[in-house]
Structures are given as structure tokens and as C-alpha cells.
Structure 1
Amino acid sequence: MIESENPNTLDEPVIQTILRDLKMIGFKLYHVILPRGNAANVLRDWDLWGPLILCLVMAIFLSISAEEQKALEFTIVFVVVWCGAAIVTVNGQLLCGNISFFQSVCILGYCIFPLTIATIIIWIIQNFTMIVKLPIVGGAWFWSSFASYGFLGSSVPESRRLLAVYPVLLFYLVIAWLVVVQ
């Protein structure tokens, strides 16, 4: 059998598939943690496993810390992340962006990683005052916004870049607000 660039994955064991996917998720998270200018093509090979896991982790931790209506908190986080990513993506498409819908949702989903980490930190060390929460979540918001700009900034024409970035900043700001008020 000749090995090709795109091997047939139907014959591989499930554990090998899971490990390959986890490795790709880790690789993409690495580029979100350390965004560089040459990483624009990293998330072109999109997947939604990483964003789904990050969204679920954030929603679970925020719903655990909710005093009442835990299911509602979980639902709000889940809907805000996925519908917000879809709206921001459609905005980018309407501004003549050259990135596909799922690539954009993938990028926006992976870039919530810093906010997910902030959620976990605030959950672990509970009873934070607002003065302590704001710098943690503010830094995570900045990091998420900066990382997503590195990926999405080049997908929109220069003259429309601000119109594309502003909704991204608002998207992460809404998620950051959900984390702060937990």
C-alpha cells in the first residue's frame, strides 16, 4: 500500500484517531497561547472539537459556580459562544472576508482559551473580589482578542478591518463579562 499525504483514517484504531485529534487541538492551542505573525495558516485546517471542548469546560465551570439556575447559566454560555461566533463570522463574510464560515468559528472558538483559563482560575480560588477578578479577566479578554486578531486580521481587506475586529472585541467582552459576574 502506498502512503499518501492524506492517509485513509477509516482503518486506523479509534485511540490513534483520538490521539491525533488531541495533538492537533494542543497544536492549535499553542498558537493561541503564543500568537505569532506566521501562524495565520495554522487554523486553516479547521475543526470544531477544540472549540466545543473549551466551550463545554467554560459552561460547566460557570454553571457550577452559579448559585441558582445552573442549567440556565450553562445554556447562556453555550448559546452566547456559538451564536456569537456565528454572528461575528457572518459579519466577516459580509465584509468580503476570505475565510470560510467554519474556519472563522474555529478560530473564534479556540481563542476563548484564555477566557476559559480565567474561568477556571476564578472558580478554583473562589471569593475573589471584583478588584481581583477584573485584571485576570481583562488580561484574558485582551489575550483572546489579540490572538483572534492575529488569525482573522488578514482575512478581511485593510479598509474594512476595523469593522471586522470591533464585533470580535465585543464578542469576547460579553464572554468576559459572563466570567466576571460568576
Structure 2
Amino acid sequence: MRELSARWKKIIALSAISSVLIFGVLVVRYFYLINRDIPRAPCFASIDFVHTHDHKVRWHGVGDMTIDPKEGALYVYYLVKTPEGKVYTYDRKFNIVLTHLDTSRFLFKTRSVVKFDADTAEDELPFMERGFQGGMVTFNYFSDADYYYNINNLINGVCHVPR
């Protein structure tokens, strides 16, 4: 067999080095994007919702929610108005366990629920707790301080991370 010339040896060596560098850059970029999709501080969101059991009567709620991935907590504060006009305060902390699935998705399970003193809802709002008992939470980087979030395809929107 013929031996390759020095020129071809250099070309092959440079091609191999450039392939390794390109692959390395892609791996680093991938892990950076994963890291960026996860909020590094509590994420605050204002929520306004309408819920209906039978498409006739409507429950209306307005409030705030805080998602804290580091602490493993979901803080929920709503003022909910029933179809009869009665207003309940829903003020709870859900202690959750997050399992990282892939780039921006987490599987979560609620370990316990803490009712704060301001909570007047008791068991009057079962539909509120259903969405927070477990399932999937997804975060997507939107801007320097904002993330899209989606909880079980029931609650979604933009949450703000203070810098």
C-alpha cells in the first residue's frame, strides 16, 4: 500500500480535530440550553381563571402562584368566587418532589399540602387541588426573566423570575 502524503495526513488530522471540537461545542450548547430552561429562583405568576363543571355555572378565580423548583414547593393564593357569589380564599403550599425528565420537563408528586391561616376554602374547591396533586410541569425559557410554564395542561402562562 502507498503511504499518504504529508498534506493528506494534515488534512485528516485537522478534520478529526475540527469534528471533535464541533461535537464538543454542540454538547456544551445542549447542556447550556437545558440549564437555561430551568428557573434558578422562585417563579411568580398572576393567574385569572374560569372553571365550569357542566358548562352552565362558572367559578371565577384570581390570584398568584409561586413555583420554587429548588425548595420543591408550589405556593398558591387565589380568591375564588362561586356561582352563588360566595368568595373563598385558597391559600396553600404544596410540598412537591420534582423528577427531572429531560430538558425542561419535570414529573412532580405532591408529598403534603399546608393550609395557611387565610385559607377559607376547606374542601369546597376540590377542582383546585386536583391539578396540583401530581403530573408534569414544563418550563421554557422566554426572556431574561420570564419563563413559559405548563402544569398538567391545566394551568399555563408566563411566570417571572426576579433578577
Q: Same fold (TM over 0.5)?
A: no
* RCO comparison, higher one (Cα < 8 Å, 6+): 1
In terms of fraction of residues, the more helix-rich structure is 1
In terms of fraction of residues, the more strand-rich structure is 2
TM-score computed with the length of structure 2 as normaliser: 0.30
TM-score computed with the length of structure 1 as normaliser: 0.27
